[in-house]
């Protein structure tokens, strides 16, 4: 009996202890740690999901799409994007489409897999384009399937803003097409070009060759993705003589008709020799600019002096960034006067011992065309919300006056002489007053200037009296050591001629309304238009030229003079390629067929083909 009672007490105590332990555990789980376990339960059955915002689109100044997101993960073939897939024909899963492809790759940029901008406009305006992601709470059932309960908290995503650029898509395509063809024809290492409005500083086109397709950025090297127009520096050569001349004129050191001795193209200084591309005797200051005499401009630099030349160079913005809203802009190299050697003054006067970007040179020439006022280059026209409400509209920003109106006008006339009778004759356009300057700069190799590698450049604007277009071209290492007048100036003429001949652009009308030639009024401007875009006495039907869906009809050029045929091809929005000269006998594609804008049209003429 006692043994039974002892067992009963033992089990009773054991039961009490176990019950106490269970109760304590339940108290801990349900009361003390209840909220913690409830939160853990919710984390396993509920999840916060990100609702990605729609990235804003990038447009040109007329509202043409330069970059946009698809509505969903859209499967696009390479043919649709205009690219080639050499290895396979599998579909690409993409979310961002760039219609201009290589024509604007370095300018527009691209995005990474995480949706952030990684270059160009995509990077600069990433904050505005990206918008703000939203979120929502979803639950999971026993089969691990997610569903959303009514009443669960959420936040709607805010779509990114639309960014309108100052770029004109049509001009951008023209510039890239001509630049690419010219680089290939000259067997050059590369090239770059910028077109801008010299009065407002708005960039109308900015192209690089080689370029890259932002639809498939991984296929291209990092160098190809860089915007060389702002990130690559070079010695400007004779195009920098503009600054030397500006310093001499504004300090009243020399006048256009003053005589300089060219010393037959040889000038020795500090045991080194400065040479001209051909021997010159006595030249006026204006002739020295027109014929690009290194000897004469070395002497002018000595008269200007180190301090005044340095100050003028700084005033034109060299040695500092232009401040354009694009990533990777370099400030160039401008050494302080205290570090100059004995020859720096004269060599800098002819464009050596200083490094610049293409955009810096554009700003300097724009200042001369703009009556002596430097303006900050603009790339953004406006930023709007998803429902088209205006958020921001950058205004034209005059930086400072570097020249008086009189000095700027005198420089314009000197630059006009360069195109009329000097080294820039290949940039001339019939019946339109063009001003500009050629440049050829030898590259440095191991501290010595190369005899075979150079930069060839040309900067020009038109019309001289009231400029509306400024275009700058730099060709990197053209074959046969071509100079600025033979390598870059013809590219300028091709680009500008196509721009002012393009039916959808307003520049022919602007040139007519702004006194394209000195001394001509509006009545005389009709002859200018005839010289630029005329191809036949008959009136051309604009509807027939414009076509539809981006396609243009190929005109019938057979039997026409080559010059008229070229103008006819240009005004139809196509790109002429002439073989021979004289009268056109054959053409390809055939007349009446439809081709995309900027498609090449080959004209085979009566002799020379």
Q: Which residues are catalytic?
A: 238
User: Mind giving me the DSSP string for 330-380?
Assistant: ---B---GGG--TTHHHHHTTT-S-BB-HHHHHHHHHHHHTTTEEE--B-E
Residues 6+ apart with CB under 8 A from 232: 192, 226, 330, 357, 358
> CA-CA distance, 294 to 563, in Å (whole number)?
36
> CA-CA distance, 121 to 379, in Å (whole number)?
9
> CA-CA distance, 379 to 125, in Å (whole number)?
11
Q: Quick one: DSSP state of residue 84?
A: -
Residues 6+ apart with CB under 8 A from 184: none
Q: Report the alpha-carbon angle 249-251-255, nearest 5.
A: 35
User: Mind giving me the DSSP string for 220-278?
Assistant: S-HHHHS-HHHH--B--GGGGHHHHHHHHHHTT---TT-EEE-GGGEEEETTEEEE-SS
> CA-CA distance, 188 to 453, in Å (whole number)?
10
Element (H, E) at 155: strand 154-155
> CA-CA distance, 154 to 164, in Å (whole number)?
32
SS3 assignment, position 280: coil
| Helix, strand, coil percent values for the chain (each to nearest 5) | 40, 25, 35
For residues 488 and 237, the answer to whether their CB atoms sit within 8 Å is no
SS3 assignment, position 474: strand
> CA-CA distance, 295 to 300, in Å (whole number)?
9
């Amino acid at each position: 009996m006692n043994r039974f009672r002892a067992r009963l007490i033992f089990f009773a105590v054991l039961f009490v202890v176990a019950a106490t332990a269970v109760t304590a555990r339940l108290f801990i789980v349900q009361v003390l740690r209840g909220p913690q376990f409830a939160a853990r339960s919710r984390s396993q059955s509920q999840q916060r999901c990100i609702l990605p915002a729609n990235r804003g689109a990038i447009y040109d100044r007329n509202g043409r799409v330069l970059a946009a997101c698809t509505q969903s993960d859209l499967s696009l073939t390479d043919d649709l994007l205009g690219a080639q897939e050499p290895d396979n024909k599998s579909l690409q899963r993409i979310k961002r489409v760039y219609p201009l492809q290589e024509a604007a790759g370095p300018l527009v940029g691209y995005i990474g897999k995480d949706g952030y901008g990684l270059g160009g406009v995509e990077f600069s305006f990433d904050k505005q384009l990206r918008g703000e992601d939203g979120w929502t709470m979803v639950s999971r059932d026993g089969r691990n399937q997610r569903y959303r309960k009514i009443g669960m908290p959420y936040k709607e995503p805010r779509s990114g803003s639309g960014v309108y650029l100052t770029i004109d898509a049509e001009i951008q395509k023209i510039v890239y097409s001509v630049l690419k063809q010219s680089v290939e024809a000259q067997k050059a290492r590369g090239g770059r070009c910028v077109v801008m409005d010299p009065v407002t500083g708005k960039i109308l086109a900015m192209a690089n060759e080689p370029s890259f397709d932002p639809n498939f950025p991984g296929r291209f090297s990092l160098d190809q993705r860089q915007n060389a127009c702002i990130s690559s520096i070079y010695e400007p050569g004779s195009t920098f003589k503009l600054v030397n001349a500006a310093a001499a004129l504004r300090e009243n050191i020399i006048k256009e008709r003053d005589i300089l001795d060219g010393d037959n193209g040889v000038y020795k200084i500090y045991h080194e020799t400065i040479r001209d591309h051909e021997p010159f005797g006595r030249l006026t200051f204006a002739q020295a600019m027109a014929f690009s005499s290194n000897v004469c401009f070395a002497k002018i630099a000595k008269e200007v002096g180190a301090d005044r030349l340095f100050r003028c160079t700084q005033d034109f913005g060299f040695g500092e960034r232009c401040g354009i809203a694009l990533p990777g802009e370099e400030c160039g190299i401008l050494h302080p006067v205290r570090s100059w050697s004995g020859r720096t003054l004269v060599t800098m006067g002819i464009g050596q011992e200083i490094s610049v970007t293409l955009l810096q040179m554009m700003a300097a020439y724009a200042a001369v065309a703009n009556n002596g006022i430097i303006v900050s280059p603009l790339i953004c026209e406006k930023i709007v919300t998803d429902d088209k409400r205006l958020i921001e509209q950058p205004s034209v920003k005059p930086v400072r006056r570097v020249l008086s109106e009189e000095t700027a006008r005198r420089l314009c006339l000197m630059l006009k002489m360069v195109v009329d009778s000097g080294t820039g004759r290949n940039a001339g356009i019939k019946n339109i007053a063009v001003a500009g300057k050629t440049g050829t700069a030898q590259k440095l190799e191991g501290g010595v200037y190369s005899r075979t590698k150079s930069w060839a450049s040309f900067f020009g604007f038109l019309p001289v009296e009231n400029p509306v277009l400024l275009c700058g071209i730099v060709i990197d290492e053209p074959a046969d050591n071509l100079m600025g007048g033979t390598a870059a100036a013809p590219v300028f003429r091709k680009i500008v001629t196509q721009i002012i001949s393009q039916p959808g652009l307003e520049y022919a009308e602007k040139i007519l309304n702004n006194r394209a030639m000195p001394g001509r009024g509006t009545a005389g401007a009709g002859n200018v238009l005839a010289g630029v875009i005329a191809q036949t006495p008959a009136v051309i039907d604009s509807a027939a030229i414009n076509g539809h869906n981006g396609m243009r009809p190929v005109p019938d050029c057979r039997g026409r003079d080559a010059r008229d045929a070229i103008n006819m091809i240009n005004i139809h929005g196509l790109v002429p390629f002439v073989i021979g000269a004289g009268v056109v006998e054959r053409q390809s594609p055939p007349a009446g067929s439809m081709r995309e804008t900027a498609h090449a049209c080959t004209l085979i003429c009566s002799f020379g083909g």
